[in-house]
Structure 1
Amino acid sequence: MDTLLDLPPHLRSRLAGALRTGVIEPPYSPPLLRSVLSTGQGLDAIRDALVALDRQGVSAVAIAEMLKLMAKVEARAPRTDLVWSGPAVNGVHARSTRRVYEELLGSGERRVLASTYAFFDGPRAFEVLATRMDAVPDLRVTLLLNIQRKRGDQAPADELVRRFADRFWKYEWPGKARPSVYYDPRSLELDGPAGVLHAKAVVVDEEAVFITSANLTEAALDSNVELGVLVRDRALAASVATQFQVLIEQKLLKPLPAT
């Protein structure tokens, strides 16, 4: 079976069709296989696999159904893309960090969750997401952002949050519809941060998840060396979204005031 599993999808589909319709049947002659598959490469191994299954009482139609099932299993398997910022590496295929961010933030239908430690030029960083929210009224967006206490600033945490919120809603968020924004209050402790919200990730419709070292800054999206993975897997996407949702429900992440 390994030989049939290792066939390219288009050849496996072609073989399944010929087996299902009776074009190919025992004793699986090499010339007929060559004619259907349009290749002689690996032909002996393919025939040996088919003959072995025939000897076990597996009919040509049953083999065709097995090949069809293989295709369905492959289609449901997680798909992973390498995502990269910085100098291109010859011989390695990787998607652009900026393009993946824009693709995901601009494609949500039901829910988008995005977390970043830092952002620069909010109107540009959030433009794609804000435009999508305005175009899809039912889209629920959750942003997780870090609020940083500047060195020497002794203002109470509530005051720092108000300053951040006023600046964010007035100057950084470019859309009419507003997302739900949360922050980690530990970053504002006067004795030094006990922890910060440092995760950089996007989850879209709980179907795709992007985990990256890149913040939403021009340098991270285009010139820094940054590495990430985009995984289209519902179980993983739902798991990541749930992790953040539990932090929100347990009030470990706090909501940013609306004004």
Structure 2
Amino acid sequence: MWNKSIKLDIFEDLLFTHKYFIEDIFLKDEISTNITESRSIVFQEINKLFPNLSPEEKLNFLYIMGKAYSRSNSEKIQLIWSGPSVAGLPGRDTEIVFEEYISSAQESIILSIYALSEYAGSLINLLEKKVKQGIYVEIYVNDYASKSGLLDKIIGLDTSRAFVYEYIGAKNETQSLHAKVLTVDNEKSIITSSNLSYNGMDGNLELGVILNSKEKAKEIRLIFNTMIEKKHFKRIK
């Protein structure tokens, strides 16, 4: 049975105070089975807290700590707020954040947008540039006709690198693709309330999240791939 006198924050301190040590020994596969004699402060603390555990059980506990560190290190969430600084959260220009993420792309970009205006022309130009650099760019829109003037230059590029899809799976007249999402290199994503328009990027107060998570990026890609397979999207051109 769990010893209630042992507080969970002890393990949190162990994990984050010695996270580089824990990561290093797992990467190098240098865990000694005789940890009862180890001089490491991590092992000493485990031995003190769990004197009755076998060496194998202590190693299992360390493994759990390592996995927890790996998860905490691989998934990080930040808020992106376009309004004035509040509660210690600084305001950030949505357009600048999008430019930073698109510019950083080395392999692929997924962009889902609802409203798009000429105010976002610099972002479209940047996407065009990334396609010419060999980056895969996928753009998902609700109504292509209203955006064709801006997206035609993307359509005219290398069809093996540039993909523009229109949502055609509406179940009724009011249903639309309203998701505003940017995913870069299947590693990091922005999900926001902001449209790529003047009001969305400069006028309104918008809130979103930045997800540095390969797992969530994979889920986002799966959503759009599945929608394509089920013919809810059609490729333009």
Counterpart-to-counterpart distance in 1, 2:141 and 2:103: 19
Q: Is contact 1:127–1:175 with CA below 8 Å preserved after alignment? A: no
- Based on CA coordinates, which of the two structures has the bigger radius of gyration? 1
Q: 1:134 is matched with which residue?
A: 132
For 2:136, the aligned partner's letter is R
Confirm whether residue 182 of structure 1 aligns to residue 165 of structure 2. Answer: yes
Contact 2:142 2:167 survives alignment (8 Å): yes
The code of the aligned residue for 2:210 comes to: L
Which position in structure 2 is the counterpart of 1:168?
Answer: 150
User: Secondary structure of the residue that 1:143 maps to in structure 2?
Assistant: strand
Query: Number of aligned pairs?
Result: 213
Judge conservation of contact 1:117–1:146 (CA < 8 Å) in 2: yes
Q: 1:206 matched to which residue of 2?
A: 186
Cα distance, 1:147 vs. partner? 1.9
Instruction: Give 4+ residue runs of structure 1 displaced > 4 Å after superposition.
Output: 13-17, 23-26, 61-70, 93-96, 172-178
- Is 1:115 the counterpart of 2:121? The answer is no
Q: In structure 1, what is the Cα distance between the partners aligned to 2:195 and 2:164? A: 16
Shift of 1:73: 4.1
Would you say 1:52 and 2:37 are equivalent positions? no
| Change in 2 beyond 3 A, CA 1:7/1:254 | same
Amino acid at match of 2:187: E
Q: Distance in 2 between matches of 1:24 and 1:95?
A: 42
CA distance in 1, matches of 2:54, 2:169: 66
Show the 5 A alignment for 1:11-26. Answer: 11-13=17-19, 22=39
Q: Report the TM-score, using the length of structure 1 for normalisation.
A: 0.64
- Determine if contact 2:191/2:208 at 8 Å carries over to the other structure: yes
Q: Does the residue aligned with 1:72 lie in a helix, a strand or coil?
A: helix
Name the SS for the 2:165 alignment partner: strand
Amino acid at match of 1:124: S
SS at match of 2:17: helix
Equivalent position amino acid for 2:218 in 1: A
CA distance in 1, matches of 2:123, 2:83: 18
1:175 CA displacement: 8.7
Look up the match of 2:32: none
SS at match of 1:6: helix
Gaps in structure 1 of 5+ consecutive residues: 29-46, 149-160
1:241 aligns to 2:221 (yes or no):
yes
- What's the CA shift string for 1:8-65, capped at 9, x where partnerless? 7663248869x99626599x6xxxxxxxxxxxxxxxxxx6x65222343559x95995
Structure 1 residues 134-178: Cα deviation after superposition (integer angstroms, max 9, x where no partner): 22x1x2211112327xxxxxxxxxxxx4x854x2355x6599556
* SS in structure 1 at match of 2:85: coil
Give the Å deviation of 1:196: 1.8
Question: Retained in 2: the 8 A contact 1:111–1:141?
Answer: yes
Root-mean-square deviation (CA, aligned residues, Å) is: 3.8
TM superposition shift of 1:75:
2.4
Matched, 1:6 2:6: no
Superposition TM-score, scaled by structure 2 size: 0.69
Segments of structure 2 that go 5 or more residues without pairing to the other structure are 1-5, 25-34
Indicate how the Cα distance of structure 1 residues 102 and 21 shifts in structure 2: closer, same or farther if over 3 A, else same.
farther
> Per the alignment, do residues 52 and 83 of structure 1 end up closer, same or farther by CA in structure 2, a change over 3 Å counting?
same
Q: In structure 2, what is the Cα distance between the partners aligned to 1:206 and 1:14?
A: 25
Amino acid at match of 2:150: F
- Equivalent position SS for 1:126: helix
